[in-house]
Structure 1
Amino acid sequence: MISHLKLKTIRTLNEHISIEVDQNGFEFIILKHKKFDAAFSLHGAHLIHFQAKQAAPLIYLSKTAVYAPKKAIRGGVPICWPWFGSNTESKQKGLASHGFARNSEWTLSSFNSTDLGIDIEFSLETSQSTKAIWPHDFNLTLKASLTDHVELTLITENTGETPFHYSGALHTYLHIADQRQCSVQGLANDYTDSLQSNQAKQSAQPLHIDHPIDSIYAVNDGAIVVKDDAYQRTISVSNEGNDSVVVWNPWVEGAKAFADMPDDGYQTMLCIESAITADPGHLVAPGESHRLKTVIK
C-alpha cells in the first residue's frame, strides 16, 4: 500500500520500528509486526497505512498524495486541530482549513513493542509558529495502540493560564473495496448536510453512498459498522470524546477536483470521523485535558 513511496531506511529503533525517508527526505515511522504493517508520517503525526496480516488494508492512502511542508496528506488519519473546517477567525486571517496540527512537524516521544502489538506516541507543543496562528498554550499528544486493530487517542492539554475551546477530528479515511458494494450501519438518525447547514434531517438506515456526502451525524451509542461486501468483511468504528461523527466522500466531481487524489479514488475510500464540530468547541480549562478517540477494527 505504500511501496510506491520508495522509502529508504536511515535508522532502526528496534526490531519492529524504523525511520525511513522518501527521495525528498520526508520522514516516516515504519512499523513491521507479526500481526500487522503500519506507517506514520512525522508530518502531522499522520497514520498513513495499517494492514493486518492476511487482510486488506484498513486505511486508505491516495497514490497521488503530496508529501511537503505545510501540505496536508490526502488519506490516512489526518489530525484536524484546533478547529474543524474553517471558523470565523481562521477565515478572517486566511488560515488553513482544519487547523495547523496536520501540517506541523511532530516529535516521536515514545514507543514500545511486544508480541501483542506496538504502542507509539507523538507530541506537538506550543511554539512561536503556533502562537502566531493560535494564541493558546497547549501540549498535544497522539497515542496509538496497534494490534490487530487501530486505537488512536488525541489528548489536548491546556498548559496555559486561561481556558480555551477547540474543535477538530480524527479524520479517518477507511479503505474499502468498492463503494457500490458498501453500506454503513449504526449512525444516529439525526444529521445535517454540512457545517454550513443548520437544518436537521433524518437519515435512512443503512446508509448507501451513491452521491457526494459531507454530513455531520449526532453521537450515537454503539459502534458504527461498515459492511465492505466486496472484501467480505465488516469494519467497526467506535469513538469517544466526540460530539459528532462526520461521514465524507467527495464522489466523482470532487475527486476530479483534487490534484492529490486519482479520479477514481472516491470508489475505494470512505471517511468516518470522530469529530468535535459544535460551536464553540470543547472547553479545556488551565491544567486540564481532553481526549478524542477512535477505535477501528
Structure 2
Amino acid sequence: MISHLRLKTTKTLSPSICMQVDDNGFEFVVINHKNFDAAFSLHGAHLVHFQTKQQAPLIYLSKSTPYNHSKAIRGGVPICWPWFGNTEESKSKNLPSHGLARISQWTLANINETGVGVDIEFSLTANAETKAIWDHDFSLTLNASLSDQIELSLITNNTSNEDFSYGGALHTYLHVADSGHCSVEGLAPSYKDSLDNGKRKSSDQILNISESVDSIYDAGEQQIRVNDKSNQRTITINNEGNDSVVVWNPWVEIAKKFVDMPDDGYKTMLCIESAITSKQGVLIKAGQSHTLKTVIK
C-alpha cells in the first residue's frame, strides 16, 4: 500500500525496521516484519499501512494524498487531537480541523522488535507551534503494538498546572474490498446523523453501507465487527477511553470533491473511529493522564 511512494532508506533501526524518506525528505518508519508489513509517518505519528502476510491490507491509504508538513494525510489512522472536527471556537479562530496532532512532527521515542511483533512509541510535547494553536502544556504518547493485530494507545498527559479538557479520535480508515458490500455490527442503537444537522436517529442492528454515511454512535458494545464480504473476512474493533464511535464513508459525490482521494476511493475504505466527540470532552486534571485506545484485527 506504500509501493507507490518513492522511498530510500536513511537508517536501519532493527532487523525489520528502518527510517525511509521520500524525495522531499518526508520521513517514514517502515516495518517489514516476518509476520506483517507496516509504516508510520513521523508527521502526525500516522500509521499509513498495515498488512499481515498473505492477507489484504487492513488500513486504507489514498494514493492521491500529498506529503508535506502543512497538510494531514488522507487515510491511515490520523490522530485527531485536542478536538474532533471543527468546534465553534476552532472555526472562529480559523484553527485546523481535527486539531494539531495530525499535522505536527512527532519524535520516534522507542522501538522493541520481537519474533511476534513490534512495539513502537512516538511522542509530542507542547512547543511554540502547538501553543499558537492550543495554549496548554501537555505531552502526547502514541504506543503502537503490532503483531497479527493493530493496538494503538494515545496517552494524553496534562503537564500544566491547571485542568484541561480534550476531544479527538483515532480516525481509522479501514481497507475493504468493496464498501458497498460491507456491513457493520455491534454499534449502539442510536446515533447522531452529521449529514442531517446532528439529528438523533435509531439504528438497525446491522448497518449496511450503501450511501454516504457520517454518524456518531454512543460507545456501545465492546466489540464492533465489519463484515468485509468481498475479502471474505471480518474485521473486529475494540475501543477504550472513547465516548463515541464514528462511522464515515463519503460515497460517490463527496469523494469527487476531495483532491487528496481518487474519485473511486470511497469503494475501498470505511472509517470506524474510536472517538471523543462530546462537547465537554474528557477532563484531565493537572498532572493526570487519559488513554484513548483502539485494537483492530
- Measured in 1, the distance between the counterparts of 2:67 and 2:199 equals 37
Query: Match of 1:24, as an amino acid?
Result: N
DSSP 3-state at the match of 2:222: coil
DSSP 3-state at the match of 2:208: coil
Query: Match of 2:241, as an amino acid?
Result: G
Query: Match of 2:55, as an amino acid?
Result: A
Mark the CA change 1:276 to 1:293 in structure 2 (over 3 Å): closer, same or farther: same
Extract structure 1 runs of 4+ deviating beyond 2 A: 195-199
Any stretches of 5+ residues in structure 1 without a counterpart? none
- Measured in 1, the distance between the counterparts of 2:198 and 2:72 equals 28
The residue aligned with 2:57 is 57
DSSP 3-state at the match of 1:200: strand
The residue aligned with 2:118 is 118
Deviation at 1:195, TM superposition (A): 8.9
Mark the CA change 1:3 to 1:198 in structure 2 (over 3 Å): closer, same or farther: closer
The residue aligned with 1:45 is 45
TM-score, length-normalised on structure 2? 0.98
Deviation string 1:241-266 (CA, Å, 9 cap, x unpaired) is 00000000011111100000000000
Deviation at 1:222, TM superposition (A): 2.4
Deviation string 1:105-157 (CA, Å, 9 cap, x unpaired) is 00000000000100000000010111111111000000000001100000000
- Measured in 1, the distance between the counterparts of 2:127 and 2:83 equals 18
- Measured in 2, the distance between the counterparts of 1:190 and 1:51 equals 32
C-alpha contact 2:195 2:213 (8 A) present in aligned 1:
no
The residue aligned with 1:262 is 262
1:50-199 counterparts in 2 under 5 A? 50-194=50-194, 197-199=197-199
- Measured in 2, the distance between the counterparts of 1:221 and 1:63 equals 33
C-alpha contact 1:212 1:251 (8 A) present in aligned 2:
yes
The worse-fitting range, judged by mean Cα deviation, of 101-110 and 218-227 is: 218-227
C-alpha contact 1:195 1:216 (8 A) present in aligned 2:
no
C-alpha contact 2:191 2:215 (8 A) present in aligned 1:
yes
DSSP 3-state at the match of 2:194: coil
DSSP 3-state at the match of 1:266: helix
Deviation string 1:143-185 (CA, Å, 9 cap, x unpaired) is 0000011000000000000000000000000000011211111
Deviation at 1:268, TM superposition (A): 0.5
- Measured in 1, the distance between the counterparts of 2:292 and 2:180 equals 31
Aligned residues: 297
The worse-fitting range, judged by mean Cα deviation, of 195-204 and 124-133 is: 195-204
The residue aligned with 2:209 is 209
Aligned residues: percent identity? Answer: 64
Query: Match of 2:211, as an amino acid?
Result: H
DSSP 3-state at the match of 2:280: coil
Deviation at 1:199, TM superposition (A): 2.9
Any stretches of 5+ residues in structure 2 without a counterpart? none
- Measured in 2, the distance between the counterparts of 1:98 and 1:195 equals 18
TM-score, length-normalised on structure 1? 0.98
The residue aligned with 2:20 is 20
Deviation string 1:33-92 (CA, Å, 9 cap, x unpaired) is 111000000000000000000100000000111100110000000000000011121111
- Measured in 1, the distance between the counterparts of 2:196 and 2:204 equals 21
- Measured in 1, the distance between the counterparts of 2:208 and 2:136 equals 41
C-alpha contact 2:181 2:209 (8 A) present in aligned 1:
no
Deviation at 1:205, TM superposition (A): 2.1
- Measured in 1, the distance between the counterparts of 2:120 and 2:194 equals 33
- Measured in 1, the distance between the counterparts of 2:202 and 2:221 equals 17
Query: Match of 2:40, as an amino acid?
Result: F
Deviation at 1:5, TM superposition (A): 0.2
